[in-house]
Amino acid sequence: MSDEPRILKIADCPSLSGRTSITYHVGVRGKDDICFRIWATSGKGVFSREWVCASEIQKVLGQNSVLAAPTLLPVFKVGRSVNTAGYLLAVLRNEGLVALTADQPHKYERTQSETFVKELAALIKSGTTLDPNADAPEPQSTRKKGRGKAAAAPWDNGPAPSPSDPAE
């Protein structure tokens, strides 16, 4: 059995700042070990294409009542880029698994997403397997033209990763 997760879903979402578009994968390893991976961004931030399983994310969520991007750094084995942690937090927000806290800016709390659970259960059952190179468009820039250069968010700095080098 391959250790590489089977890709169930390829989607795009905005970064936490809203200035960058993120393409990500949701996969399954084995029967039900759900994993996430950042695949591409429209920005210039360095990131890792490492798969991170929900079981590892769950450990971090269980130890913290509120989350910020750096809180997720321990789930990554390859590199420790705050960009990747921020992008992962944006993905979790997009899937309805975390939401902004009401009283703490830039902090997130765990939420339940029945829609996400049902969607993945159906994709697993159907045997869905997607090809990351054929089944997803490049992320679109979210910058507005003619408005000058927007201030970079902390996780949007640095050179883009080389397509031949998936890790930092």
Q: What angle do CA 55, 165, 14 make, to 5 degrees?
A: 60
| Cα separation, 17 vs 22, whole angstroms | 11
**Whole-number pLDDT of residue 94:** 97
What stretches of 29-162 show up as alpha helix (H) in DSSP? Answer: 54-63, 82-94, 114-126
For the beta sheet containing 33-41, the strands, ordered from the edge strand earlier in sequence to the opposite edge, are 6-14, 21-29, 33-41, 52-53
Q: Where in the chain are the domains?
A: 6-126
**Would you call 57 exposed, middle or buried from its count of C-beta atoms within 10 A (0-12, 13-18, 19+)?**
buried
| Cα separation, 115 vs 39, whole angstroms | 23
The alpha carbon of 14 is separated from its chain's Cα centroid by a whole number of angstroms, namely 10
Q: What angle do CA 62, 66, 69 make, to 5 degrees?
A: 100
| Cα separation, 36 vs 53, whole angstroms | 6
pLDDT mean across residues, the chain? 82
Q: What's the one-letter identity of residue 146?
A: G
The low-confidence residues of the chain, meaning pLDDT below 70, are 1-2, 79-80, 135-168
**Whole-number pLDDT of residue 165:** 44
CATH value of 6-126 in 3.40.50, 1.20.1550, 1.20.1070, 1.10.10? 1.10.10
Single out the residue of 36, 34, 22 nearest to residue 161, CA to CA. 22
**Whole-number pLDDT of residue 85:** 94
DSSP conformation class of 67 = B
